[in-house]
Amino acid sequence: MTYLIYALIIVIFILLVTNIRIVPQATEYVIELLGKYKTTWGAGLHVKIPFVEKISKKITLKEQVLDSPPQPVITKDNVTMRIDTVVYFRIFDAKIYTYGVVNPINALENLTATTLRNIVGELELDGTLTSRDTINSKMTAILDEATDQWGIKVTRVELKNIIPPEEIQSAMEKQMKAERDRRETLLQAEGHKAAAITRAEGDKQAMILAAEGERDARIARAEGEAKAIFLAKQAEAEGLKALKEAGIDAAVLELKKYEALVNMSNGTASKLIIPTDAVNAVTNNTIFTESTGLGDNIKPAPKKPEPVKKDECCDK
């Protein structure tokens, strides 16, 4: 009897040990009791009742990625292209995920393909190629709403590749090349235009600076000549003032007139204009000199020697 009790205890211990379960973090276990949902185990230590409880499904709560293969899609303008999508999702309710739909991943993949066809079918080729963000946001909203009853939360959807037909690709490449050639031509034209404008501006500035330099030079020369004339007149005025203060008489003034006439006659001018008062002064001076002999600087010509008379008495 004692051995039987020991054996029973050992069996119970083995059953207890073998039915201890440790649920890791970010994981949930769905537990069924006699084929019926009982509870959901979260992370931690749990003990399962042997023979009557069963772990129906192990669910990870981490975000998962569903990479769908390329799907043929027809646009609004009847262009067939292949598009593959990437769906990011996570499970928020293990019970609904387990009992909501058969093979939830396959259901999500098929729903993604049909939703993509519906959205792209309303767009033309150019709109499909340029509206990735719009398609992504629409698909995310539709899939998230449809998969709530499956316990799945769709966080975002991305279009991975858009592969148009080969003839469309060739036409797009030609169009892209033509657009690049057009941009290159425009850039070259703008460059030539900018260079011409820059050269014209440079020539304009050079002409303006040259004109300003010539103007400044003329002004400087005019100012120099005016200053020279002013200084000469000022010196002449000061000389006259000094002569006046010295109390000179008419004879000195007449002498100054003569000096002026001499200076004028030494020039290279072909004509000599003599004031009337100077002519009268010279005439008066000439008459005075001839009558008095004063001021006559011309020496008289030497007299011829008289012949010596011969002495008749002595020369014999």
Confidence band for 155, pLDDT divided at 50, 70 and 90: very high
Cα distances (angstroms) measured from residue 90 to each of 4, 97, 103, 147: 51, 10, 15, 11
In which residue are the tokens 């998969």 written?
Answer: 147
Dihedral sign of CA atoms 166, 168, 174, 180 in order: negative
Helix, strand, coil percentages, rounded to 5, for the chain: 55, 20, 25
pLDDT at 76 over 90: no
* Residue-wise DSSP of 123-154: S-HHHHHH-HHHHHHHHHHHHHHHTGGGTEEE
Per-domain boundaries in the chain: 2-60, 64-164, 167-202
User: Could you read off the pLDDT of 81-115 as tens digits, one per residue?
Assistant: 888 899 999 999 999 999 888 889 999 999 999 99
Contact between 62 and 91 under an 8 Å Cβ cutoff? The reply is no
Tell me the pLDDT tens digit for each residue of 261-277: 666 666 555 455 555 55
At position 20, the amino acid (one-letter code) is I
What's the CA gap between 199 and 205, in Å, rounded? Answer: 10
Buried b (16+ CB within 10 A) or exposed e, 161-172: ebebeeeeeeee
The fold for domain 64-164 equals Tetrahydropterin Synthase; Chain A (3.30.479)
Residue 296: name the closest of 304, 305, 308, 288 by CA: 288
120-154: pLDDT as tens digits:
888 888 888 888 888 999 999 999 999 999 999 99
pTM of the shown model: 0.54
